[in-house]
Amino acid sequence: MSDLLERLRGRGWRMTAQRRVVAEVLDGEHVHLTADEVHARAAAKLPEISRATVYNTLGELVSLGEVVEVSTDKRAKRYDPNAHRPHHHLICARCGSIRDVHPTGNPLADLPASERFGFTVSGVEMTYRGLCPDCAALV
């Protein structure tokens, strides 16, 4: 987990207690938390941390490429700390739970030039949807 902190320090991040706990929360579990969940977990370690700081820090981590935003159908964005390994997502349409998945194939190669409309294409996200075992059992 100090890997992440080292990388950030190496990039000129001023290291504060707030940034440290946010980084630790994200680095600690490979689940996909909302900003509010990150705030709650961070506040457990550093009670006076503000929501604004959590949003700021998450935004910085995203632009540094350390964390990826995932938009599910639910309203709140989720933050995926597993940004260093390329992967895609499988989301339960009912409960919103997310798994990281690794499909075979190369989806970027599947978009021919004629379908690019002059865009400079830099990446692709695949979002598989379905029902998780628990939710499927309820239906």
Identified binder of a second copy from the candidate list 36, 107, 113, 138, rule CB under 8 A: 107
CB 109 to a second copy: min, Å: 8
CB 53 to a second copy: min, Å: 21
Greatest C-alpha distance within the chain: 54
* Rounded Cα distance, 26 and 82, in Å: 9
* Rounded Cα distance, 48 and 44, in Å: 9
CB 4 to DNA: min, Å: 15
Q: Is 122 in the site for a second copy (CB under 8 A)?
A: yes
Identify whether the C-beta of residue 82 lies closer than 8 Å to the C-beta of residue 30. Answer: yes
Q: Is 52 in the site for DNA (CB under 7 A)?
A: yes
* Rounded Cα distance, 139 and 131, in Å: 10
Tokens 């639910």 sit on residue: 74
**Within 13 A of 82's CA, how many CA atoms are on the CB side?**
17
Q: Is 45 in the site for DNA (CB under 7 A)?
A: no
The residues that touch DNA, with contacts defined as CB under 7 A, are 9, 13-19, 34-36, 46, 48-53, 55-57, 59, 74-77
The residues that touch a second copy, with contacts defined as CB under 8 A, are 69, 71-73, 90, 92-93, 99, 101-105, 107-108, 110-112, 115-133, 136
